[in-house]
Amino acid sequence: MCGIVGYVGSQSALEVVLAGLRRLEYRGYDSAGVAVLADGQIASARKSGKLVNLEKALVDGPLPAGATGIGHTRWATHGGPTDANAHPHLDNAGRVAVVHNGIIENFAELRAELAGRGHVLTSETDTETVAHLLAEEFSGCADLAEAMRLVCRRLQGAFTLVAVHADAPDVVVGARRNSPLVVGVGEGEAFLASDVAAFIAHTRSAIELGQDQVVEVRRDEVVVTGFDGRPAEVRHFRVDWDAAAAEKGGYASFMHKEIAEQPRAVADTLLGRIGADGALILDELRIPAAELREVDKVVVVACGTAFHAGLIAKYAIEHWTRLPCEVELASEFRYRDPILDARSLVIAISQSGETMDTLMALRHAREQGSRVLAICNTNGSTIPRESDAVLYTHAGPEVAVASTKAFLTQLVACYLVALYLGQARGTKWGDEVLGVVRDLADIAGAVERVLGDMEPVRELARSLAGAGTVLFLGRHVGYPVALEGALKLKELAYMHAEGFAAGELKHGPIALVEEGLPVVVVVPSPRGRCVLHDKIVSNIQEIRARGARTIVIAEEGDDAVLPYADHVVRVPVTPTLLQPLVTTVPLQVFACELAVARGNEVDQPRNLAKSVTVE
């Protein structure tokens, strides 16, 4: 939920840290702060609001130059987004500075204990307790990594911590439990960050940290231990995208850029998936083929947009494998005591790989003996690390809070997993699999064509800037697309928007329809199950008869919708199950344009953060 950067090297720590924070601002943007080690002292600055406020404050009150520093961009949990609650937090003597992502659950108890020993805590945060505890432990051992290990053993909850101490000038120490932290290894410099995007301009060489580990970085040395002090195995990886991928590249926003990148992202996710023997290839597979053949149920767990990808996956999985498939909101999953065993395959979908609800759901599934397959966009993140198999989506970095290209690539990955299961279980022949893979390969071009004709959608969006409510209807795989369209509009345009299964409308929601209400209808292909198409055409007539302004997304050549559509948005002809890959795109553009028309910040919508690392 928060972005963290640490640096030690020979460059200006302040500049490196601020540049890193700019890249991580998508993770949280209600306050920001930095601390630099200079002349045996810690100099720090913190400011509520976006990073730009901190940058202005640093122009008015510059910090001394130093080559070791840390920084933070916050999404508030404990304590409001004020200057006083912004990170870094310092101890009373100002010798230690700490930044934190996560929640320390026993902070009230620690706070009371510290107050009892005479510490004065000046913020409402849980983080400040760590600064004071670290100062105490450091005074006993004069070793910042050891002090961090001692403190971490006392903490409950989820946390990434990064700290510096004025008496340890060339070292930055980090720790992680259930919250992300990666190490960047440069030439004579090292970085700690919540996400590789923070240091990709300096190095592509990175180290994953495991659970309950402490890392100590110096210019030429990285030492990783467990919280117990034992040396830990270090896993290096190379980041396969470059700094340009994390820049806006001339687009008005990251979201505009990421929408435009979808054809490439879809194509990249398909690359190298078919082996010489015609079999599908996943990235990491630690599940024996015999076990896959024994699977008797699939359960998809995910949140938000990834959950919508799961809802679509259900149609493909059940159709292609004949296995029952449940799709569950990760935040609800473990609390309803789901029926799982060794024959259940759980698929966890997550762009960030750090969503706490999804992580907890997958852990619960593994405790029940189920195997977990992750679909993820972030190499080295926690969800794939803790899964038995992984299929990475190759969307590249998704910076805008609203998910777009990650969604389309999650869909591609879901189709591939469904085919893989079908192939392993013998419900799909090799030639059938290749047929679908060929259809998927055509999708990048289809998405490109949709994107090439979006001006009427933008114009329509602008004309609706004053609307209060927009409804979205769909059937079959179009129903989750309707949910996704509504979610995009809510989070970006801050409008009331709801998605419904079109057939469900007459059971209540049709009462919402009144004169002029915009209703977006995702129409299934007339070449698929005709009955679905005919029924949705009837649904369009029903709402139009009650005054709705109908915006119809229909495939090229589907003229049956014309008499009842106030606006038609055309999408290329695709196989029925793959249609969400093209019908979602106009809804993304629609929401993005409406948000711009309403003067909203597209990349960083209010109250949200890209990666939700708290439950």
CA 491 to each of CA 73, 350, 403, 474, 496: distance values in angstroms, whole numbers, following the listed order: 21, 18, 10, 20, 10
Helices within 183-303 (DSSP H only):
254-260, 262-270, 289-294
CB of 543 to ligand M6R, least distance (A): 26
Using CB under 6 A, which residues numbered 400 to 429 contact ligand M6R? 401-403
CB of 254 to ligand M6R, least distance (A): 12
CA 505 to each of CA 80, 552, 585: distance values in angstroms, whole numbers, following the listed order: 40, 16, 24
For ligand M6R, the binding residue among 350, 423, 574, 579 (CB under 6 A) is: 350
What is the length of the chain?
A: 615
CB nearer to ligand M6R: pick between 125 and 378:
378
For ligand M6R, the binding residue among 355, 525, 604, 613 (CB under 6 A) is: 355
- Region binding ligand M6R by CB under 6 A among candidate stretches 300-308, 416-424, 453-461, 462-470: 300-308
Burial of residue 39, with CB atoms counted within 10 A of its CB: 0-12 exposed, 13-18 middle, 19 or more buried: exposed
Active site residue 257: no
CB of 36 to ligand M6R, least distance (A): 31
CB of 609 to ligand M6R, least distance (A): 9
Active-site residue (options: 47, 257, 405, 610): 610
CB nearer to ligand M6R: pick between 306 and 421:
306
Active site residue 2: yes
CB nearer to ligand M6R: pick between 282 and 614:
614
For ligand M6R, the binding residue among 130, 185, 299, 303 (CB under 6 A) is: 303
For ligand M6R, the binding residue among 66, 174, 304, 474 (CB under 6 A) is: 304
Contact track, ligand M6R, 592-611, x by CB under 6 A: -------------------x
Alpha carbons 177 and 187: distance in angstroms, whole number: 28
For ligand M6R, the binding residue among 48, 321, 331, 351 (CB under 6 A) is: 351
All residues at 6 or more sequence positions from 375 whose CB lies less than 8 Å from its CB, including other chains: 309, 347, 348, 349, 350, 390, 391, 393, 410, 413, 414, 417
66 in contact with ligand M6R (CB under 6 A):
no
- Region binding ligand M6R by CB under 6 A among candidate stretches 163-171, 288-296, 350-358, 563-571: 350-358
129 in contact with ligand M6R (CB under 6 A):
no
CB nearer to ligand M6R: pick between 54 and 362:
362
CB nearer to ligand M6R: pick between 215 and 361:
361
327 in contact with ligand M6R (CB under 6 A):
no
Q: Amino acid identity of 81?
A: P
What pairing do the DSSP bridges indicate for beta strands 235-238 and 221-226?
unpaired
Q: Amino acid identity of 541?
A: Q
Tokens of 358: 């999804």
All residues at 6 or more sequence positions from 326 whose CB lies less than 8 Å from its CB, including other chains: 297, 298, 299, 300, 314
Using CB under 6 A, which residues numbered 463 to 492 contact ligand M6R? 487, 491
Q: Amino acid identity of 128?
A: E
Alpha carbons 532 and 68: distance in angstroms, whole number: 62
Using CB under 6 A, which residues numbered 358 to 397 contact ligand M6R? 358
Q: Amino acid identity of 72?
A: H
178 in contact with ligand M6R (CB under 6 A):
no
CA 585 to each of CA 65, 183, 231, 598: distance values in angstroms, whole numbers, following the listed order: 47, 35, 48, 20
CB nearer to ligand M6R: pick between 47 and 488:
488
Question: Angle 13-24/51-60 helices, nearest 10 degrees?
Answer: 160
Q: Which residue is nearest to ligand M6R (CB)?
A: 304
Active-site residue (options: 2, 152, 376, 414): 2
Residues that bind ligand M6R (CB under 6 A): 303-306, 350-352, 355, 358, 401-403, 487, 491, 611-612
